[in-house]
Structure 1
Amino acid sequence: MSEQKRSNNKYKRKRPWIKYSLVLILILAIGVGAYALLLYNDAKDTVNEKIHQKVPSIDHELGKKKIKGEEPLNILLLGVDKRAGDSGRSDALMVLSLDPKNNKMKLISIPRDTRTTIVGKGLEDKINHAYAFGGTDMSIATVESLLNINLDYYVQMNMEGLTEMVDAVGGITVDNQLEWYDTGYYEKGYHYAKGEISLNGPEAMGYVRMRYKDPNGDFGRTKRQRQVIEAIIDKGSSIASVNKIDNMIDVLGKNMATNMDFADMKDLLFNYKNVRKNTVSYMMKGSGTEIDGVYYYLIPDEEIAKVHEMINEVG
């Protein structure tokens, strides 16, 4: 047999293995694609059917145009403490400002005891009472009035769902500035050591809820809330969390409400993915006082004007 024929026969013997390898790769590709499509459809159904809730106070179509045009966005984050038989109160209020052109993100906390006019109620009270009086819509209108801004979207999260979300992303890491020991949210108790610590769901809940052991009171508490939210965003958006998407979707479906639909979220993910490169975290400053025996946090007009400029600043 000639050298050429032996070479051809050898090539023919190898070809089936190449063919089977290609078939295996194709099957794997189809499997991965099918799984991705399943997750996509599951996420789409969960968002559009369980999470998406429009509110009269926000122009939804304007928000869609802004996202598609990659314009700055203002999103109200509401952490709601709602239990059986209770209308609930907004335990955390933050304005998330996104500037995709300059890759900037600002997370601004509004102290929950802030005294302001409750829009639609016509009285001055703590800003977190707006939710108890009129739900999400009244909270949005009141924050817009206080800061003289327009909100494009809102995201409301049940605070108890925060525990599940931290566990769903596989835990988070935060830089703790204050050492303490807590037994309130973790069966065996937990030592919050100073420095970088890893937290699971119940530990994260204890971390954001503690206030009385903190010399900075609500100021320190809201700072920890911002830390946990930023940590969840970082962990949830990482490649390592891809295999946790199913759990994350399930948690969101049970604990979250927003006027974003699935298309909005998808556009936000792609068009605003780099805003975390430059993050500013801030809490509105004022002073505490008692009025008719009730504690309030008073924020001066100069501070409100400063925060208004921070939110509307572009570039």
Structure 2
Amino acid sequence: MTINRHKLMKQKRHRRKKVWKFIGVPLLVLLLATTSYGAYLYYVAKDTLGAASKDNELSEREKSDKRSDKVNPKNDNISILFMGVDDSDSREYGTATRTDALILATFNENQKTVKLVSIPRDSYVHFPFNNDYDKINHAHVFGGVEGTVQTVEELFDIPVDYYVKLNFNAFIDMVEALGGIEVDVPITFSEQDSKDRKNAIRLKKGLQTLTGEEALALARTRKIDNDIERGKRQQLVLEAIIKKAISVGSVTKYGNLIEAVGTNMKTNMTFEEMLSFHDYATAGSNFSIQSLQLEGEDDYINRVYYYKLKDESVQSLKQELKTHLEVNSKSDPSHVAQPLDDNTDLPDEKQS
């Protein structure tokens, strides 16, 4: 009996950790039902999160070109592209910025399953909006949200139905709204802060409570090793956020948490569409999330680093995502990114 209880508790904790990979926005909506002042929070969320869709950067597009009909997340399999951007003044390139994180999520309504693909920021891909080849994090610089969505749609040959764009302020404000998070920092390091002040954040290895700025520094630093280890640190931070968010002591902070996300977020999802994800979280043991990896190899061309995706990995993930969404479309082989050679000329503004 004790063993079974321990197993059940372990499975429950494991499911909680998985929920945050759901990327937060639907989760915050789900939290409303768990509080004694859920009705009040519902209207706060409706006003705050609903406002995020008013500045929709895909307002000219009713649906993906790869769809024959507009989808409804309540009834249909759908996909969401989550975009993390640093839109501070010191990092602006005209009116757009690079994406610091790209995560594609596909949702199967009948199975109540989610598949997540993290797309390395330096992945060398084709840009359909200007017929160029470049790092995927530059798609937002030159094509905005629409260009980034088109690029991901072409890469995997599937429809991207929705996008959610969050900036660094959202991340910082979320941690601050929770009163900080406890993290076992895996390495001692120094990193710039959100204002790009060099070595402004200094953290030592070990268990400690992090502020919003410190949590962001831990999640974004990558010069000390590589993007693989960076991903592991981001997982540590995100798990710490969800652990704090579901604690009893954080109930009274949900209003601030919703505001922190909503005021720093843009999306083409309506509040009613966000509510549709309630079915996934209430599916119990039937709900599952799987993280998928894009394989590739490091390379340098003209002293510029990029991540060359392995074609077999792209093709394998492409088919898996199509099957999960239950869609069929034909890919154009002419759009598969071609290898760069040593004579490739990349302008200075693209070499990051």
Please give the range of the TM-score, normalised by the shorter of the 2 chains. Answer: 0.7 to 0.9
Task: Tell me the residue number matched to 1:213.
Answer: 224
SS across alignment from 2:100: strand
When structure 1 is superposed on structure 2, of 128-137 and 57-66 the one drifting more is: 57-66
Shift of 1:314: 3.8
Shift of 1:57: 4.7
Task: Tell me the residue number matched to 1:3.
Answer: none
Q: Give the 5 Å matches for 1:1-315.
A: 36-52=38-54, 53=56, 55=58, 56-57=60-61, 59=63, 65-69=71-75, 71-84=76-89, 85-86=92-93, 87-172=96-181, 178-182=186-190, 184-185=192-193, 189-193=202-206, 199-214=210-225, 217-229=226-238, 231-232=240-241, 235-236=244-245, 241-268=250-277, 270-274=278-282, 277-314=287-324
Q: How far does the alpha carbon of each residue in 1:164-193 deviate from its partner, in whole angstroms, 9 at most, with x for none?
A: 1122244445676x4223353496732233
Runs (4 or more) in structure 1 with deviation over 6 Å come to 60-64
TM score, norm. by length of structure 2: 0.68
When structure 1 is superposed on structure 2, of 77-86 and 217-226 the one drifting more is: 217-226
Shift of 1:62: 8.5
Over 3 Å counting, the alpha-carbon distance change for 1:259 and 1:241 in structure 2 is: farther
Structure 1 contact 58–152 (Cα < 8 Å) conserved = no
SS across alignment from 1:67: coil
* % identical equivalent positions: 34
Over 3 Å counting, the alpha-carbon distance change for 1:198 and 1:144 in structure 2 is: farther
Q: How far does the alpha carbon of each residue in 1:119-169 deviate from its partner, in whole angstroms, 9 at most, with x for none?
A: 211110000000000211111110111111211211100023211112224
Shift of 1:241: 4.2
Over 3 Å counting, the alpha-carbon distance change for 1:280 and 1:127 in structure 2 is: same
- Cα distance in 2 for partners of 1:191, 1:49 equals 39
Q: How far does the alpha carbon of each residue in 1:254-303 deviate from its partner, in whole angstroms, 9 at most, with x for none?
A: 211111111111122x2221579533234312012122342211102101
Shift of 1:93: 0.6
Shift of 1:205: 0.5
Structure 2 contact 164–267 (Cα < 8 Å) conserved = yes
- Cα distance in 2 for partners of 1:158, 1:241 equals 23
Larger proportion of helix: 1
Counterpart residue identity of residue 219, structure 1: I
Structure 1 contact 117–125 (Cα < 8 Å) conserved = yes
- Cα distance in 2 for partners of 1:138, 1:113 equals 16
Over 3 Å counting, the alpha-carbon distance change for 1:96 and 1:174 in structure 2 is: farther
SS across alignment from 1:219: helix
Shift of 1:203: 2.2
- Cα distance in 1 for partners of 2:318, 2:249 equals 37
- Cα distance in 1 for partners of 2:283, 2:317 equals 19
TM score, norm. by length of structure 1: 0.75
- Cα distance in 1 for partners of 2:128, 2:242 equals 31
Over 3 Å counting, the alpha-carbon distance change for 1:213 and 1:136 in structure 2 is: same
Counterpart residue identity of residue 79, structure 1: G
RMSD, aligned CA: 3.2
SS across alignment from 1:68: coil
Shift of 1:226: 4.5
- Cα distance in 1 for partners of 2:68, 2:45 equals 24
SS across alignment from 2:204: strand
Over 3 Å counting, the alpha-carbon distance change for 1:101 and 1:223 in structure 2 is: farther
Shift of 1:118: 1.2
- Unaligned 5+ segments in structure 2 are 1-34, 194-198, 326-352
In the comparison of the two structures, how many residue pairs are matched? 276
